[in-house]
Structure 1
Amino acid sequence: MKNIKIVYLVVASFLFTFCSNDEPTGPPLWTPDISNVVPYTTADATVAYEAFNKQFYNPTAKLYYSTTEKGGLGSIWTQAIFWDIAMDAYKRTNDPKYLTLIKDIYQGAYQEYDGFNYSNKVKWFIYDDMMWWVISLSRAYEITKNEEYLQNSIKGFEYVWNGSYDPVNGGMFWDFQHSGKNACINYPTVIAAMELYKITGDEEYLTKAKSIYDWSKNNLFEKTTGRVADNKIGNNPGWSDYTYNQGTCIGAAVALYKETKDAAYLNDAKLAADYTKNVMSSAEGILPAEGDWNEQGVLKAIFARYTMALVNDGGQEQYLPWLRKNGDVAWRNRDKNRNIMFRDYDIPCPVLTVQSFEACSAVGIMQIAPPAQK
């Protein structure tokens, strides 16, 4: 009996180590049968978004809970991504209640984050958190034409640029201590600059966008494969695969391509998308789960947004069926009692506690990737 127990503990220890490794290492070792997945519809997209809000939106704080247990609020940068999804739902449906929600979420953020006082280093403690909001504020301005949104976007961009940009070696530091230059600040800076350039016409934004993109391509981008490094500390790139880094690289490249018509940008975007599809995804093309009880669950929502920019603004429609398939599989595997989905699209959504981070990404896909026509 003692020997049996020892064998059991050894096997259990191996399985725990194998299954709990969250470092992205490529496609999973198994693929489910997804041949009979039913495509989601526009009605399904609305049901999914309504269910997400029912489970996670806090109407008092006007921001989102971190879990279905409705305890504390989700982290500051993910609230910007949830706001993006609200904008997508409005643009898809033109439903005035979602326009009201866009305005409400802004008020919730304004109250929670010290009126977008970016120098408050208790509320705002890292540069990339600010830049996600800069992007979302500019998008909200385009929808609402509320000048306050635009001014807070401009103010945030200037604050981050002045504190984060390295005028000697180029690139953006992700933290106040300048410990490293991460993809999650550099590529979003390009996207934010291009958003503000589109709105204001100020050529300085375009110049900054090109500068940061060039640094990122030379320091964070593997030019033969399309792989994006997570960071660069000193002279050493950190090669970890994350969908949001692939996505923001795509988004930055597409934004510059749309403005300049320089095919080199479009080629970079396609290379990054192909790496995500062919290397990071499963054999069936299902995006990686990413994360275990942490904010990584939100990453695919960011990837989907900028891959759809590649489809729409880059004219690369070959990526649309891939995104649809991911939405289809996630919707099939939803918790049908709550109509919420999970970060791992391949498996049924857990029936117990689920994070807003991990429930949001497939909802985001369904708002922006138009369903296949029946």
Structure 2
Amino acid sequence: MRSRKSLGFVLVVLNGVAAISNNDADAMFNDWNNAFLSGSQYRRSINDPAPDTTWSASLDILVAEDAFDRTGDSARMTLVNNLLNSWLAATPPPWSWDGWNDDIGWFTLALARGYQITGTQNFLTQAEYGFNYAFGRGWDETYIGGGIWEQQPDDAQGDGRTPAKEALSNDSLGKVACLLYQSTGNEAYLQNAEKIYAWVRKNLFDTQTGKLITGIDWNGKAITNTAAYNQGTFLDFATLLWKITFNPMYRDDALLALEFGKNSLTNNGIFSNSNTGLNTWADEMARGVGNFVNAAGLWDKYFDWMNQNANSILANRRTDKGITWNAWDQKTPNTDLITNTYASAVAWLQYTPAVKPTNVSGIMYITNKATGLRIDSGSSRDSSSNIVQWGANPAMAQKWLITQSPDFSWTLTSLRTWLVIDNPRESTQNGENMIQYRSSRANNQRWWIDQQADGSYKIWNKQSQKALDGSRMTNNGALVAQNDWTGADSQRWLITRA
């Protein structure tokens, strides 16, 4: 990414830090759309109606995907689908004309996330093509033992540049490999993701401080600059690999990267950069922080700080458009900056909850009080396969990522299959067996989780209003059903951190 190189909003005050509302996050995204959305494309700037294109447009689309991920709103799913279809029509593969591998990283990241949101097969097809193309040409073990070229050497030298292997090309494409593994189960993507990560960790990441440098050039010289977008992309990459493998090294690295970003790349805790030559600055940090804090259940530690940034974003909006530039601790000027300049602020609000999630948020085991068996996704990655119960073990099939939506319902995602617990056909029948299915965020995939007096939890479906029930079955492979709530131990679940 060439340019990257070079109102009343308070609901409540917690520990002296004002908490934003869901309306604030919605309004910031809506104001962004009002300023820049034209049909099914984003424009280049407020005053330039020409469509934003290629990698820059991909950054715009990632913000729309952030907004869907926060809400699960069907209108935003449609928006993501339309944006990506329009983008593909304007930027069809092959992408051999683009010698920058990080550009293709952003192309494919938007497409891979778009597939997970919409289920549109073509997005997955093109994401796989793009990753395999960029990794195939860019990964080079001849120089510095591996790593992906930022710009292909022939292309770079033709531009009069010194070729380099940089964090942005490696981490963006590493994230794509993780998403492709989640979506396909193809182990080759996971192997490539871990290979990329190992190279970055060895050559660019300081495992003592958490600092990530920009890259290493053709001559083996370190490029020691730091940037919030580099730091955040690495943080999110580490988080994805931790969720996929549960290797504690990735969690530890993610925490170090977050802390370095928080303490060393901010002004008094606020992400801020007034360089108008930048595109985004902290959008990837927003994703990395939000995804890691949620998975690790670290809301007590970081919620107030996330709100501190959100409050500064809201306090420094453009008075005419309601959007905020990259310098979150400074008033946003009413000048015609490019669309991407406002992306980071929108993204940050999508990952900052209005209310601190409870201690069931994160990666959890869910154990039936009556049977002592855990909810298990089983070995099948097929949508519509049954959710079962199984004796306690450390398998990924028993680890569930529990994530809250703005309506305070929860989504339960298997770390083995990346499918969610689903009430099939929106059934209201007692005894209906629960399945796992591709996430759509519909009401039959949303669950209320209410703690009971004995410390256990009632888990009940938003659509059917019926409770998850272990049905007193004690054998491995016993199904999980829904039934009217009776308060029996078979309907009570113990939720513990994995």
* Code of the aligned partner of 1:93: T
**Residues 89-119 of structure 1, C-alpha deviations (whole Å, 9 max, x = no match):** 2233333322221121112211221x23222
Distance in 2 between residues matched to 1:214 and 1:93, nearest whole Å: 34
Distance in 1 between residues matched to 2:128 and 2:323, nearest whole Å: 35
Please tell me whether the aligned partners of residues 289 and 343 of structure 1 are also in contact (alpha carbons under 8 angstroms): yes
Indicate yes or no: 2:295 matched with 1:289: no
Tell me by how many angstroms 1:153 deviates: 0.5
Q: TM-score normalised to the size of structure 2?
A: 0.64
Please tell me whether the aligned partners of residues 130 and 160 of structure 1 are also in contact (alpha carbons under 8 angstroms): yes
Please tell me whether the aligned partners of residues 293 and 355 of structure 1 are also in contact (alpha carbons under 8 angstroms): no
Matched with 2:170 is 186
**Residues 7-29 of structure 1, C-alpha deviations (whole Å, 9 max, x = no match):** xxxxxxxxxxxxxxx999xxxxx
Matched with 1:353 is 336
**Higher CA-based Rg:** 2
Matched with 1:39 is 19
Aligned partner (choices 269, 274, 286) of residue 259 of structure 2: 274
Matched with 2:37 is 57
Aligned partner (choices 229, 254, 259) of residue 213 of structure 2: 229
Distance in 2 between residues matched to 1:38 and 1:338, nearest whole Å: 23
The runs of at least 4 consecutive aligned structure 1 residues that moved more than 6 Å come to none
Instruction: Tell me: CA distance 1:230–1:73, structure 2 relative to 1, closer, same or farther (3 Å).
Output: farther
* Code of the aligned partner of 1:306: G
Matched with 1:327 is 310
Instruction: Tell me: CA distance 1:36–1:293, structure 2 relative to 1, closer, same or farther (3 Å).
Output: farther
Distance in 1 between residues matched to 2:283 and 2:32, nearest whole Å: 14
Please tell me whether the aligned partners of residues 57 and 64 of structure 1 are also in contact (alpha carbons under 8 angstroms): yes
Matched with 1:112 is 90
Distance in 1 between residues matched to 2:102 and 2:118, nearest whole Å: 24
Instruction: Tell me: CA distance 1:95–1:261, structure 2 relative to 1, closer, same or farther (3 Å).
Output: closer
Please tell me whether the aligned partners of residues 86 and 101 of structure 1 are also in contact (alpha carbons under 8 angstroms): yes
Distance in 1 between residues matched to 2:335 and 2:167, nearest whole Å: 34
**Residues 273-303 of structure 1, C-alpha deviations (whole Å, 9 max, x = no match):** 11111111122x10131532332xx121111
Please tell me whether the aligned partners of residues 171 and 212 of structure 1 are also in contact (alpha carbons under 8 angstroms): yes
Matched with 2:151 is 175
- Which structure shows the higher strand fraction? 2
Please tell me whether the aligned partners of residues 38 and 332 of structure 1 are also in contact (alpha carbons under 8 angstroms): no
Distance in 2 between residues matched to 1:320 and 1:151, nearest whole Å: 37
Distance in 1 between residues matched to 2:16 and 2:189, nearest whole Å: 47
Aligned partner (choices 191, 195, 207) of residue 211 of structure 1: 195
* Code of the aligned partner of 1:52: W
Please tell me whether the aligned partners of residues 276 and 337 of structure 2 are also in contact (alpha carbons under 8 angstroms): no
Q: TM-score normalised to the size of structure 1?
A: 0.84
Please tell me whether the aligned partners of residues 324 and 332 of structure 2 are also in contact (alpha carbons under 8 angstroms): yes
Aligned partner (choices 132, 144, 164) of residue 106 of structure 2: 132
Matched with 2:291 is 309
Distance in 1 between residues matched to 2:122 and 2:331, nearest whole Å: 42
Tell me by how many angstroms 1:139 deviates: 1.1
Matched with 1:89 is 67
Matched with 1:18 is none
Indicate yes or no: 2:242 matched with 1:262: no
Instruction: Tell me: CA distance 1:259–1:96, structure 2 relative to 1, closer, same or farther (3 Å).
Output: closer
* Code of the aligned partner of 2:208: T
Distance in 2 between residues matched to 1:56 and 1:209, nearest whole Å: 34
Percent identical among aligned pairs is: 26
Matched with 1:70 is 48
Instruction: Tell me: CA distance 1:216–1:58, structure 2 relative to 1, closer, same or farther (3 Å).
Output: same
Please tell me whether the aligned partners of residues 308 and 320 of structure 1 are also in contact (alpha carbons under 8 angstroms): no
Tell me by how many angstroms 1:330 deviates: 0.9
- Which structure shows the higher helix fraction? 1
Instruction: Tell me: CA distance 1:94–1:192, structure 2 relative to 1, closer, same or farther (3 Å).
Output: closer
Please tell me whether the aligned partners of residues 177 and 190 of structure 2 are also in contact (alpha carbons under 8 angstroms): yes
Matched with 2:345 is 362
Please tell me whether the aligned partners of residues 150 and 168 of structure 2 are also in contact (alpha carbons under 8 angstroms): yes
Tell me by how many angstroms 1:143 deviates: 1.3
* Code of the aligned partner of 1:112: A
Matched with 1:299 is 281
Matched with 1:196 is 180
Matched with 2:139 is 165
Please tell me whether the aligned partners of residues 272 and 329 of structure 2 are also in contact (alpha carbons under 8 angstroms): no
* Code of the aligned partner of 2:35: Q
Distance in 2 between residues matched to 1:94 and 1:263, nearest whole Å: 30
Matched with 1:9 is none
Please tell me whether the aligned partners of residues 326 and 362 of structure 1 are also in contact (alpha carbons under 8 angstroms): no
Matched with 1:344 is 327
Gaps of 5+ in 1: 1-21, 25-34
Distance in 1 between residues matched to 2:205 and 2:237, nearest whole Å: 12
Indicate yes or no: 2:218 matched with 1:240: no
Tell me by how many angstroms 1:201 deviates: 1.0
Gaps of 5+ in 2: 7-14, 155-162, 357-498
